[in-house]
Amino acid sequence: MENSHRQDTIAQQTTLENAFRMKIKNERSMAQMRSEIFKLKKQIQRERIHNYLNKFEWTKIKDELCELRAKDKFLKATMNDTNKVKVTMRARNFKLTQESDEIRQDIEKIEKEGIDISDLKQIYGFHNFDYADQAKRKVESIVGF
């Protein structure tokens, strides 16, 4: 009986030791799990921050891109306006050149008829024949056409 009691005591002790070992093992694994959970939480926080910063940077880049597109459109419109002005100026210069050629022809006609141009300049008070409109009006009034 004593032997069976002793065996029961040893069995209980072994069971207690095993339970204690299991408890320690479980506590270690729980600590490891807590540590892993903590690491995962930190990693998730870092990823969230990283994603937020990426979104912020992406938004900033999108805004800059929109600004650049707007500037590009403005510059293209300005270039088109400038080109239109250049075309208009070329047309005006061509027209003025034609008018000044016509005036020179009219002056040559007047000189052929014997009227002195210097007299006309003094009479009508203009000295620069580069002003095509004034000169043309004066010559037209003199020549009569």
Q: Are 106 and 137 in contact (CB under 8 A)?
A: no
At residue 16, the pLDDT reads 75
At residue 115, the pLDDT reads 65
Of the candidates 105, 98, 89, the one whose C-alpha atom is nearest the C-alpha of residue 132 is 98
At residue 117, the pLDDT reads 60
Residue 126: pLDDT over 80: no
Read off the pTM.
Answer: 0.34
Over range 75-84, report the average pLDDT.
82
- The rounded distance, in Å, linking the Cα atoms of 78 and 87 is 14
Band of residue 62 on the pLDDT scale cut at 50, 70, 90: confident
At residue 139, the pLDDT reads 66
At residue 107, the pLDDT reads 76
Dihedral sign of CA atoms 115, 119, 121, 123 in order: negative
- The rounded distance, in Å, linking the Cα atoms of 77 and 69 is 12
Residue 128: pLDDT over 60: no
- The rounded distance, in Å, linking the Cα atoms of 100 and 95 is 9
Hey, where are the domains in the chain? Answer: 2-143
At residue 145, the pLDDT reads 52
At residue 112, the pLDDT reads 78
SS3 of 77, please? helix
28 or 131, higher pLDDT: 28
